[in-house]
Chain A
């Protein structure tokens, strides 16, 4: 199974962490694994600035994903009741998994369509990684505007390990 990208949104609808994994260039992305966000994919998205749709940056992607997830969540709550939660959706090309904590932090992961339900995995990322390395970090602020406090080494390293070892 392949993980394409991972996003965390805080309760102010801001993307506080994003990371993309590109399956093809294994050697290059592995060497710069400690970099915070989508550095590995930057050359690919920045190069064709003139080329319409592909000029969309990772920032815009994060906003689009938040909008999608937000609308779907509200739709599901309207139909299924306040305690209903949307878990995953699937298109012909990818699958999006969603987990929301009681404090309204949203974890989103995009994987290939053959992957099983990732609800437990996202919950583990929250409990074992986010809470341990971000929330319990005494130097980390309470809120994370612009991703401050989330992009620390321990969290990123262990997220990398979790995705490469546990999920694949």
Chain B
């Protein structure tokens, strides 16, 4: 198992951490890494918006009747899935045909890119609840990436977030984080 490198992107798309652990990927200049972080941040948002939307058939069939608006309102709450239906707009303007849609897997919120595979590496992206993104470049056949990712997040929480001198959203310069991360990853290989 090989972990090539780790990149941390803050919630605004800025690069705040970049380390290479094992050679295998090409080295980029600092500027290129900044560009890469920004590009990925944008692409990540777009991949979420191009999620295929499957139309729900029932509301369209009974579109113009006034009851459709109320039945349409009732359906998402009944199924209790976070479907991004157009209920609020349909309620205010009942004349618009109440077309609603669902995601391919109802009940699961749409996320952006989670993992990307190429011939030479696999990129796994983990986004925290606050919007920070962890990008892990690994061998394409590596298993248990979630474990590595979870541990890295743990180190981040322990040694970066708990560091009283760390300023939020700024580049991570915490020696303890580096040391522990390097040590743990070396121990695994």
The residues of A with any CB-CB pair to B shorter than 8 Å are 2, 4-5, 22-25, 41, 43-44, 47-48, 50-54, 61, 64-65, 67-68, 71-72, 75-76, 78-81, 83-94, 96, 110, 112-113
From A86, which residue of chain B is reached at the shortest CB distance?
Answer: B118
A22 to B55, Cβ gap below 8 A? yes
Q: Which residues of the partner chain A approach B60 to less than 8 Å between Cβ atoms?
A: 43-44, 47
- Our pick among A48, A61, A86, A87 for the contact of B50 (Cβ within 8 Å) is A61
| Contact (Cβ within 8 A) A72 B52 | no
Q: Which residue of B lies closest to A3 (CB)?
A: B52
User: Are B99's CB and A79's CB within 8 A?
Assistant: no
Least Cβ distance of A68 to chain B in Å? 5
Contact B99 A44 (CB under 8 A): yes
Binds A, one of B9-17, B25-33, B143-151, B152-160: B25-33
Q: Tell me how many residue pairs across A and B have CB atoms closer than 8 Å.
A: 137
Report if B173 contacts A (CB, 8 A). no
Do A44 and B101 contact each other (CB < 8 Å), given the known contacts A92-B110, A93-B52? yes
**Residues in B whose Cβ lies below 8 Å from that of A91:** 47-48, 51, 110-114
Interface string of B40-51 (1 = CB under 8 A from A): 101100111111
Chain B residues contacting A24 (CB-CB under 8 Å) are 54-57
Give the number of chain B interface residues (Cβ < 8 Å). 49
Name the B residues within 8 Å of A112 (CB-CB). 104
B111 touches A92 (CB 8 A): yes
Q: In whole angstroms, how far apart are the Cα atoms of A20 and B101 in the complex? A: 15
B116 touches A (CB below 8 Å): yes
Chain A residues, CB < 8 A from B51: 91, 93-94
Majority SS at the chain B contact face: loop
| A48 in contact with B118 given A24-B57, A54-B53 (CB within 8 Å) | no
Per the 8 Å Cβ criterion, residues 67-121 of B in contact with A are 86, 89-90, 93, 96-97, 99, 101, 103-105, 108-121
A2-B118 in contact given A24-B55, A67-B46 (Cβ < 8 Å):
no
Q: Is residue B137 contacting chain A, with contact meaning CB distance below 8 A?
A: yes
Contact of B118 with A68 in the complex, beta carbons under 8 Å: no
Return chain B residues, CB-CB under 8 Å to A47.
60, 63, 96-97, 99
**Docked complex Cα distance between A87 and B117 (Å):** 6
Interface contact A92-B109, CB-CB below 8 Å: yes
Provided the pairs A47-B97, A93-B108 are in contact, do residues A87 and B32 lie with their beta carbons within 8 angstroms? no
The answer to whether A110 and B48 touch across the interface, beta carbons within 8 angstroms, is: no
Chain B positions within 8 Å of A96 at CB level: 47
- The residue from B36, B57, B108 contacting A75, defined by CB atoms under 8 A apart: B36
Nearest B-chain residue to A44, judged by Cβ: B55
B36/A78 in contact, CB under 8 A: yes
> Which listed residue, B104, B115, B137, touches A2 by the CB 8 Å rule?
B104
Q: Which residue of B lies closest to A41 (CB)?
A: B55
B95 to chain A: closest residue by CB: A50
Closest residue of chain A to B106 (Cβ to Cβ) is A93
